[in-house]
Amino acid sequence: MDFEFRDKYPELKTLDPWVSELNQNRCYSIIHENGTYLGIGVIYNIDYAKSEAELGASINNKPYWGKGYGTLAMQFLVATCRVSGIKRVYAKLVEGNDRAFFSEQKAGMKQYGTSVINGIKFILMEQYLII
């Protein structure tokens, strides 16, 4: 999968995977072709019985904000779930985080609701995958 991703998005050098041994989360470091660390992408709360997983991506390197890397990361996470046989992906983001909202929309996710957790309002996004 990593080679296919690099062919499609050559500006990203790699998304180096590492797997948490405790809960089988899939975590990826997002590295630019110039070697700069951009952030992290995560597939977590994987439920194979329900065939669904939660996604999250964060571009932590501020000079790279607004350049489409969050969208690329979300597209990669969605594609990784699709080839893994996951049928539904979902995410929650803090209301007002427009960059995350638009990145998730560009990756094919749709808003399906809102939630309040510890007084913080979240937007709930999801996408059903065709396998």
Tokens describing residue 131? 């396998």
Q: Return the pLDDT at 34.
A: 84
Is 2-128 in CATH node 3.40.630.30? Answer: yes
Which pLDDT tens digit goes with each residue over 103-114?
Answer: 999 999 999 999
Question: Which segments in the chain show pLDDT lower than 50?
Answer: 1-6, 13-16, 18-22
Which pLDDT tens digit goes with each residue over 19-32?
Answer: 444 456 788 888 88
Residue 114 phi/psi, 5-degree rounding, is -135, 165
Quote the strand ranges of 10-85, DSSP E. 12-19, 26-32, 37-47, 52-59
Q: Return the pLDDT at 8.
A: 52
Tokens describing residue 125? 């996004």
Q: Return the pLDDT at 32.
A: 85
